[in-house]
Structure 1
Amino acid sequence: MTSRLKSAILRHTDSIKRSNLSGIKDTIRSRVTTANHDNGYGSNEFIHLNFYDDDNYLSIVQCINGGYHITEDMLKFMLDYNDCLQKHIDNLKSCSKKSKSRVKAQSTLSSYHTTRAAQLKTICAPSLEAEYLQARHDAIQNAIDECRTELNRIYSKGSSNSSPKHNRTDYMIDSFEAASSVLLKLSEKIDKLKEQKTKEDAALLQAKILCENLSYTHGVKESKTEKANNSRKKHEQKLKEIENDIARFEDEYEHEKKTYRVEARRIYEKCRVLEEKRLELIGDTLMKFIKAAYSSKNSTQQRTIYEELQSYLKDERDITKDLEFWAQTYGVYDSTTSLSTETNQNDDAHDDDEPSSADTTTSSTKTKSKKNQK
């Protein structure tokens, strides 16, 4: 094969490898991208609300508490994966065991010596594979156990019907409630005043209607008209007082709102640290999982099994030895017709055909002597 042809073949092979690898990477990227799009950020009860309004601070509390179920779902996935892996391990062991029994039950008339040993050696490979898969399974289980231990430390379970909550939940809620207590009282006062204003607006409207009706009615006593006007003025004065109170409390509310924002932000930062730890727990557990399940160490272990088997089959399995073993066992062995003897004799004959260095030297000397005699 010319060097040019070899180069062309190598270039073609490399292009195929690069193409296949590129295709695999593109497939992985597309699946990850699709997964991200499919699992877009969905709606929830707090998504369009302002954190600092009303009791919307509960969003961070519920976020942290909900983290328990998020982590549990992740662990359930890992447990399901491990269950599948354990079944595969058990099947590999069963495969080796059954196949080994079948080989051992084979007639030694047809199953013997190095080929039989090679079969048994290969049949043991699934058991070896099961061993390193079991180590992978155990590493994943260890990651699951570590995560669950930490999860149970962070989250406490109440009654059987209640969901687990973070052990700092009560502290978080109490802190937010204390910070917003003044704001809440002011808000309640403003709401009550607005209710009173609504009633006074209605009462004032009725008083104005009465005064207007009396002004168009002939023969009405002056005292009655005066009483209606006094009632109207009284409602107007009351309404003005309510409006002034509302304005004053709203000013206080806006001032207190700024104070609350500062305090709520400080409490939120503490909650953020708790949430960060929760996310770290999930991230660290995922890293442990993929390291155990998909690291290059797994490929190395499988490669080792392959190389050991390949080496054994090349070096230890010998058809000639098998045939001679059978011949010796059943009394038909003849050293003169032995395949190994024939092989050795052929090698010796080949050596005899080739002139030795001494013969070559003698022949050369004789040729030179004849030339000198001439």
Structure 2
Amino acid sequence: MENKRDLYRQLSKNYASFCTRCSQRIHRQSTLSSYHTTKRAQLDTVSAVKKLVAVEEQRVHNIQTVIDTFRKAIDDMYVTTRFTNQRHHYRTKELKRQFKEANSSFMNCTILLEHLTSSLHKARENLARVDDALEILSHDSTKSNKKRAALVTKQSDRVACIQKTVKQIKLLKNKRDQEEILWRQKAKLIFDECQKEEVKRLDLMKKTLLDFTQAMQIKDQQTVDHIYLTLAKEIQTKQNSKTDVEWWAKVYGAMEEEEVLENDEIDSSGYEQDDDTV
């Protein structure tokens, strides 16, 4: 939008520069090349271009209004982060917090379940080692009963630990499943909020593009048409080559004023005769 604004702004400046240069050039022209009604027609053409300057300036103003409105909306929507000077959506921090809170219970259950599963795996490995030790001990008569009893106690502890962990895992899985349902419900609500904000952003872009398109248009095209139509009419009716030639002849003394008047009378009578004929 800014590039387009600058383009029209430069066009307005070019129009103004054109008017200044052409006006000076026309005024400096020798009367032998441009004079009287023809010179006025040239100046009228330049004056018409001056009116177009105002039209382009209004178009630049309209585009700038759209730019200012868009910037304000963007500044309201995207705030600057303290210290980092980075911009982010004004609800980003809030929605991230909601997401983290909604996901925390489910994630805690998942992490704890992974930890218990790992503990269960280690407990079963420990139990397997105790079982192997008892198996070896059962074939070795040199070992004391005290050592055998210690291994049996350790085996019982390992089994109890495994059973306890299995129960914990079962309960935790049920809790995790419930937390997952709650998490999905909360995530859906958060996602809906994100979608609403995204719709606002996209609607802003759509509105800005429409406003920009309208700003580029000349709202009152009749004004521009009137400038050109009036100019064409003025040139057609007021520029008179014969009058200019006679004016030149009179200025330079090539024709007496009486002759000019006679020629005007002849022309007038000729026009009247033609009218009667018609």
Q: Which TM-score band (shorter chain)?
A: 0.7 to 0.9
Q: 2:254 aligns with which of 328, 332, 339?
A: 332
| Equivalent residue, structure 1, for 2:81 | 158
| Equivalent residue, structure 1, for 2:60 | 137
Unaligned runs of 5+ in 2: none
CA distance change for structure 1 residues 234 and 104 in 2, over 3 Å: closer, same or farther? Answer: same
CA distance in 2, matches of 1:120, 1:102: 10
Q: 2:267 aligns with which of 340, 343, 358?
A: 343
Q: Aligned-residue CA RMSD in angstroms? A: 3.1
| Equivalent residue, structure 2, for 1:250 | 173
Unaligned runs of 5+ in 1: 1-77, 355-374
CA distance in 2, matches of 1:218, 1:339: 154
| Equivalent residue, structure 2, for 1:13 | none
Length, aligned pairs only: 275
Residue 289 of structure 1 deviates from its aligned partner by: 0.4
After superposing the two structures, state which structure 1 stretch, 221-230 or 128-137, moved more.
221-230
| Equivalent residue, structure 1, for 2:239 | 317
1:75-86 to structure 2, matched below 5 A, reads: 78-86=1-9
1:85-124 to structure 2, matched below 5 A, reads: 85-124=8-47
Question: Is residue 2:135 matched to residue 1:176?
Answer: no
Question: Is residue 2:189 matched to residue 1:266?
Answer: yes
1:276-295 to structure 2, matched below 5 A, reads: 276-293=199-216, 295=217
2:102–2:186 contact (8 Å) kept in structure 1? yes
2:59–2:218 contact (8 Å) kept in structure 1? no
CA distance in 1, matches of 2:274, 2:221: 46
TM-score normalised to structure 2 length? 0.82
CA distance in 1, matches of 2:164, 2:65: 70
Question: Is residue 2:186 matched to residue 1:231?
Answer: no
Deviations 1:263-313 (A, max 9, x none): 3333443443333322222221111101111x3647655433332322222
After superposing the two structures, state which structure 1 stretch, 122-131 or 220-229, moved more.
220-229
CA distance in 2, matches of 1:208, 1:126: 104
CA distance change for structure 1 residues 174 and 103 in 2, over 3 Å: closer, same or farther? Answer: same
Q: 1:306 aligns with which of 218, 225, 228?
A: 228
1:200–1:239 contact (8 Å) kept in structure 2? yes
> Residue 94 of structure 1 aligns to which amino acid in structure 2?
S
Higher relative CO (Cα under 8 Å, sequence separation at least 6) belongs to 2
Residue 80 of structure 1 deviates from its aligned partner by: 2.3
Q: 2:109 aligns with which of 186, 197, 200?
A: 186
> Residue 101 of structure 1 aligns to which amino acid in structure 2?
Q
CA distance change for structure 1 residues 85 and 236 in 2, over 3 Å: closer, same or farther? Answer: farther
TM-score normalised to structure 1 length? 0.63
Identity %: 24
| Equivalent residue, structure 2, for 1:61 | none
Residue 318 of structure 1 deviates from its aligned partner by: 1.3
1:213-224 to structure 2, matched below 5 A, reads: 213-214=136-137, 219-224=142-147
CA distance change for structure 1 residues 345 and 253 in 2, over 3 Å: closer, same or farther? Answer: same
> Residue 161 of structure 2 aligns to which amino acid in structure 1?
K
After superposing the two structures, state which structure 1 stretch, 206-215 or 274-283, moved more.
206-215
CA distance change for structure 1 residues 190 and 159 in 2, over 3 Å: closer, same or farther? Answer: same
> Residue 107 of structure 1 aligns to which amino acid in structure 2?
S
2:12–2:57 contact (8 Å) kept in structure 1? yes
Q: 1:197 aligns with which of 111, 117, 120?
A: 120
